[in-house]
């Protein structure tokens, strides 16, 4: 296990290098000049403009700029916001819990719905309930998050007044995350339901399942003890990758519900052309995605006996 984990960490090095490089290039590939954001109306002052550019190190060659930025980033220094002059790391730290909690809450609720639906659909294959689940799941994948968010606000916030239309956890508690997590989780539930159904249905066709039935075991024992546990092994990998995707998908959801998370913060920073904040936020989300996938690989090794056997040999 230690060797496997060490190998995964080594493979992570070039990935992290690529993430930091692409994040750094955002500043240079994005249209516009960060100096213009700082100076505003004084941008026409050539002498002042060049002075700011020199202070920011933008007059240096790209490799020099990258190494300078990377050395600061490794130490946790993501620079300061161009507009507010506050440290980017502190701004991100203040908003990260909202996004992480939203993604976690979405995942827990979604899996609590998707796994039973997928199992029921697979064990009643080609029957009425299976057809209903499949059609509903297909529709869930196609629903636009932005449209669904607005409809939820109109129905449950403005008309019924059950949930707040906007605001963060500090103001409304976990109640503020119920609608956003529901909206964010619709497509996730649909995707996971289809995946669980597919894996469960395939597992139920295996010879060892037929053997279990032939031995006279009750269907419930066959489904849970033999089929379900084996069907969930490949599902774990998708759960991990989708959790990373939830962090990215939270961008639009947070913006719709005005949640003070990384997603809405990123969109605001793009509008305001606050390049250090954009770089820092994209870097944190990307690193979270990479690290979560690493954790999933390690968990997969623990739960899948085939990988453990291959490693022992």
Domain ranges in the chain?
2-74, 89-312
**Among the ranges given (2-6, 256-260, 266-270), the one the predictor scored with the smallest mean pLDDT:** 2-6
Architecture of domain 89-312: Orthogonal Bundle (1.10)
Q: What 3-state DSSP class applies to 60? A: coil
* pLDDT at 66 (0 to 100): 84
Structure tokens at 172: 């409304």
- With a CB cutoff of 8 Å and minimum separation 6, the contacts of 213 are 219, 222
How confident is the model over 36-83, as pLDDT tens digits? Answer: 666 666 656 666 667 777 766 767 777 888 888 888 888 888 888 877
Q: Where are the beta strands (DSSP E) in 44-182?
A: none
103-112, 212-221, 227-236, 266-275: range with highest mean pLDDT: 103-112
Instruction: Inform me whether the pLDDT recorded for 311 exceeds 60.
Output: no
CA distances from 198 to 5, 194, 208, 232, 234 (A): 30, 6, 18, 11, 11
Q: What is the mean pLDDT of residues 16-38?
A: 73
pLDDT of residue 43: 59
Those residues whose C-beta lies under 8 Å from the C-beta of residue 80, and which sit 6 or more positions away, are: 86, 87, 88, 276
Average per-residue pLDDT for the chain? 78
Distances in Å between the Cα of 5 and the Cα atoms of 10, 12, 288, 311 are 9, 11, 18, 11
The Cα–Cα gap between 186 and 114 comes to 10
pLDDT at 49: 67
209-221 average pLDDT score: 77
Please enumerate in sequence order all residues whose Cβ is within 8 A of that of 161, keeping only pairs 6 or more positions apart, or say none. Answer: none
**pLDDT category of residue 244 using cuts at 50, 70 and 90:** low
pLDDT for the residue numbered 125? 83
Band (pLDDT 50/70/90 cuts) for residue 158 is confident
Beta bridge partners of 80: 87
Per-residue model confidence (pLDDT) at position 149:
81
């Amino acid at each position: 296990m230690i060797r496997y984990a060490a190998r995964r960490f080594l493979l992570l090095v070039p990935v992290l290098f690529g993430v930091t490089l692409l994040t750094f290039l955002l500043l240079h590939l994005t249209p516009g000049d960060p100096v213009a954001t700082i100076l505003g109306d004084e941008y026409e002052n050539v002498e002042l403009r060049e002075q700011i550019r020199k202070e920011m190190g933008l007059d240096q060659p790209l490799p020099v700029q990258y190494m300078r930025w990377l050395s600061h980033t490794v130490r946790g220094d993501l620079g300061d916001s161009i507009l507010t002059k506050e440290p980017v790391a502190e701004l991100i730290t203040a908003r990260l819990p909202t996004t992480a909690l939203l993604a976690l809450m979405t995942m827990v609720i979604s899996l609590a719905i998707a796994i039973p639906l997928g199992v029921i659909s697979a064990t009643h294959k080609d029957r009425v309930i299976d057809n209903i689940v499949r059609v509903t799941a297909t529709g869930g994948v196609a629903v636009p998050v932005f449209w669904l968010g607005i409809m939820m606000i109109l129905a449950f916030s403005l008309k019924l007044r059950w949930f707040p239309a906007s605001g963060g956890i500090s103001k409304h508690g976990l109640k503020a995350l119920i609608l956003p997590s529901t909206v964010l989780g619709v497509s996730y539930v649909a995707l996971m339901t289809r995946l669980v159904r597919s894996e469960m249905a395939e597992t139920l066709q295996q010879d060892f399942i037929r053997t279990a039935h032939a031995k006279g075991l009750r269907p419930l024992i066959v489904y849970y003890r033999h089929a379900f546990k084996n069907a969930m092994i490949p599902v774990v990998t998708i759960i991990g990758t989708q959790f990373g995707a939830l962090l990215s998908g939270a961008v639009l959801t947070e913006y719709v519900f005005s949640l003070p998370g990384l997603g809405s913060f990123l969109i605001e920073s793009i509008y305001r052309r606050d390049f250090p904040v954009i770089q820092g936020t994209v870097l944190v989300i990307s690193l979270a995605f990479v690290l979560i996938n690493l954790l999933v690989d390690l968990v997969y090794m623990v739960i899948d006996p085939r990988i453990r056997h291959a490693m022992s040999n």
